[in-house]
């Protein structure tokens, strides 16, 4: 009883615990990039504000790579977690989230150090960037919302 009376004023000063930002559910859907090599990215969410789970398939068999991705709370902070081609997961904590733009950053990672997603209507832009041997590098994708399992047109 006595301990709880002492704790109440401390809790009142500290306020409620901080909550992590909600996962950017505007990323959900099946996205297709047909710039050079076909790249498909699919994102699903379990509940509004909850975890997003994604997969990226780059290329077509037999030259195809993949990446498993999540956007979830890690250490009370929203983060992008990437596992490319069976590699161990790398965590990129959220740096900024504005409307339909999210920037995740891990300065300690070799490359990339930043992962950026931005949605405009039926277009999802993705960018990875960072430094390699003191030189700034980036890779960009422009995805269009597509029907699940769609492929890029062939000429």
Domain count within the chain: 1
Sign of CA dihedral 74, 80, 84, 90: negative
pLDDT, position 79? 97
Q: Is residue 130 part of a domain?
A: yes
At 1 the three-state DSSP class reads coil
**Tokens encoding 5:** 């009376």
Which tokens hold the place of 65? Answer: 């790579």
Question: Does residue 153 lie in a domain region?
Answer: no
Q: Are 29 and 43 in contact (CB under 8 A)?
A: yes
Secondary structure (3-state) at 2: helix
Tell me, yes or no, whether 80 lies in a domain. yes
> Is 41 within the bounds of a domain?
yes
The yes-or-no verdict on residue 6 having pLDDT over 70 is no
Tell me the C-alpha distance between 72 and 79, whole Å.
6
Q: Is residue 128 part of a domain?
A: yes
Tokens, residue 1 = 């009883």
Place of tokens 């250490």: 75
Residue 10 has pLDDT above 80, yes or no: no
Q: Note the pLDDT of residue 48.
A: 67
CB 104 within 8 A of CB 115: yes
Question: Is residue 2 assigned to a domain?
Answer: no
Residue 61 structural domain: 20-145
Q: Does residue 3 form part of some domain?
A: no
Reference 118, options 96, 100, 142, 91; nearest CA is: 100
Mean pLDDT of the chain: 87
pTM here?
0.84
Residue 4 lies in a domain: no
> Residue 135 is part of a domain; what is its CATH number?
2.40.128
Q: How many CB atoms lie within 10 A of CB 69?
A: 20
Tens-place pLDDT, residues 61-118: 888 999 999 999 999 999 999 999 989 999 999 999 999 999 999 999 999 999 999 9
For residue 124 the two structure tokens come to 């999802």
How many C-beta atoms lie closer than 10 Å to residue 39's C-beta?
A: 20
């Amino acid at each position: 009883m006595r301990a709880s009376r002492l704790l109440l004023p401390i809790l009142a000063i500290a306020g409620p615990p901080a909550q992590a930002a909600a996962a950017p559910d505007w990323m959900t859907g099946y996205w297709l990039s047909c710039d050079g090599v076909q790249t498909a990215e699919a994102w699903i969410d379990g509940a509004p504000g909850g975890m997003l789970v994604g997969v990226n398939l780059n290329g077509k068999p037999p030259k195809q790579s993949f990446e498993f991705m999540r956007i979830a709370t890690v250490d009370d902070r929203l983060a992008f977690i990437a596992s490319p081609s069976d590699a161990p997961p790398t965590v990129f904590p959220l740096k900024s989230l504005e409307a339909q733009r999210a920037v995740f950053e891990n300065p300690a990672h070799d490359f990339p150090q930043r992962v950026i997603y931005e949605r405009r209507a039926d277009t999802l832009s993705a960018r990875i960037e960072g430094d390699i041997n003191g030189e700034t590098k980036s890779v960009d994708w422009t995805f269009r919302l597509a029907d699940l399992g769609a492929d890029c047109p062939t000429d």
